[in-house]
């Protein structure tokens, strides 16, 4: 699987990265065995980049990912985690659950926003302990939407020092919006932006400012949320878009995208996976999975041939702007219709 270095530095990421929110019991429980098998399947498919966070299952994702990678040579993979939410023991000692935050785990801890320099150090130390590893390759500021000034003034300089000392290899920011990451690109020396849901077949907001800024500065972007919470895997009434039922106009647009893809014998999710690679700043696409089957399906879709005629028709039908960059064609003919397996639900 192709690899790219982030921001021209030394940290390499594979073309496809495994997002590990589902390993933290996102929406529903996953067994330890299934979590381990999912990571193994990703490894067998050539994936060498793994993303997690303390937020995911109150640390469960980090613990499971660390356990699954423990016997792998440490210099053969790239691991990213995040800072900004400290996990503090809950006084009720897990009497409730964490489903209000989307995770089917006991509420043993509560999340406390902390973008201070001390908070960054404490968060990374706790993550290393949960992972059982000696280093994190990429440290990302996690969703500082309401803490932008503190993240710029305190958390970012702490990460910059850690990078200079060689404690982490690359630093960046991970968000579901593009405006604040674009500000970080202008005002700091981050290596990478993890942008979720804002550069997809349905939403190209990242193309307005963030992606051109990254390309101009030689920085990298990892695209998450390419299925927009599931709508681009199987558009139908009740499908979710940005974690809520899709509004009818958005659903209608997704159905039109699907119709064009079907006309060219291409599953919609295959086009959704490949689309971000049309932009030169995109280094990797990050997708979640909760089973080996979902991993294998994702890899299969990424490798499907996509004809140039598909992108041309999406432009003709005004489903993509004429100047939106698209990836190079991987097939020149009209593909045969494909048998569709049941698409996986997309963890974010």
Tell me how far apart the alpha carbons of residues 109 and 123 are, in angstroms, rounded to a whole number: 14
Task: Give the separation between CA 25 and CA 256, rounded to whole angstroms.
Answer: 33
Residue 340 has a CB neighbour count (10 Å cut-off) of: 11
As annotated, the active-site residues are 56
Q: What percent of the chain has pLDDT over 70?
A: 95
105 vs 29: CA distance, rounded Å: 8
pLDDT tens for each residue of 104-122:
999 999 999 999 999 999 9
How confident is the model over 191-238, as pLDDT tens digits?
Answer: 999 999 999 999 999 999 999 999 999 999 999 999 999 999 999 999
Q: What is the pLDDT of residue 170?
A: 98
Predicted local distance difference test score (pLDDT) of residue 331: 55
Interval 36-89: pLDDT, tens: 999 999 999 999 999 999 999 999 999 999 999 999 999 999 999 999 999 999
Give the number of residues written for the chain: 348
Q: According to the model, what pLDDT value does residue 91 have?
A: 84
C-alpha angle with apex 138: 132 to 139, nearest 5 degrees? 85
Q: What is the pTM of this model?
A: 0.93
CA 237 – CA 250 distance, rounded (Å): 11
Check residue 243 and give its pLDDT: 87
Structure tokens at 119: 């908070």
| Euclidean distance between CA atoms 101 and 57, whole angstroms | 9
Residue 330's pLDDT is what?
Answer: 80
Contact 61, 24 (CB under 8 A): yes
Q: Tell me what pLDDT residue 127 has.
A: 98
Cβ atoms of 124 and 83 closer than 8 Å: yes
pLDDT confidence bin for 329, thresholds 50/70/90: confident
d(CA 3, CA 9): 13
């Amino acid at each position: 699987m192709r690899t790219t270095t982030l921001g021209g530095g030394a940290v390499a990421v594979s073309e496809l990265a495994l997002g590990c929110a589902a390993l933290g019991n996102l929406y529903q429980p996953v067994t330890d065995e299934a979590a381990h098998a999912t990571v193994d399947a990703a490894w067998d498919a050539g994936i060498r980049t793994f993303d997690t966070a303390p937020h995911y299952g109150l640390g469960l994702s980090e613990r499971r990912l660390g356990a699954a990678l423990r016997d792998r040579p440490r210099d053969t993979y790239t691991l990213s985690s995040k800072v900004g939410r400290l996990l503090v023991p809950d006084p009720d000692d897990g009497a409730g659950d964490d489903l209000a935050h989307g995770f089917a785990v006991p509420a043993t801890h509560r999340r406390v926003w902390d973008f201070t320099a001390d908070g960054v150090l404490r968060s990374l130390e706790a993550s290393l302990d949960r992972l059982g590893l000696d280093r994190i390759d990429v440290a990302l500021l996690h969703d500082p939407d309401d803490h932008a000034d503190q993240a710029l003034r305190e958390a970012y300089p702490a990460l910059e020092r850690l990078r200079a000392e060689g404690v982490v290899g690359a630093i960046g920011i991970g968000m579901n919006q593009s405006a604040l990451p674009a500000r970080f690109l202008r005002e700091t020396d981050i290596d990478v932006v993890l942008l979720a849901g804002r550069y997809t077949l349905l939403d190209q907001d990242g193309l307005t400012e963030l992606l051109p800024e990254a390309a101009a500065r030689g920085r990298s972007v990892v695209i998450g949320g390419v299925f927009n919470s599931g709508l681009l895997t199987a558009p139908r009434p009740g499908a979710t878009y940005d974690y809520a039922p899709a509004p009818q106009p958005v659903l209608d647009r997704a159905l039109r995208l699907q119709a064009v893809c079907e006309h060219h014998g291409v599953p919609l999710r295959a086009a959704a996976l490949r689309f971000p690679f049309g932009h030169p700043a995109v280094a990797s696409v990050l997708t979640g999975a909760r089973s080996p089957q979902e991993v294998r399906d994702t890899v299969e879709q990424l490798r499907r041939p996509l004809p140039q005629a598909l992108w041309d028709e999406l432009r003709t039908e005004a489903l993509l702007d004429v100047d939106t960059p698209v990836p190079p064609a991987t097939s020149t003919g009209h593909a045969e219709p494909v048998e569709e397996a049941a698409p996986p639900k997309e963890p974010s």
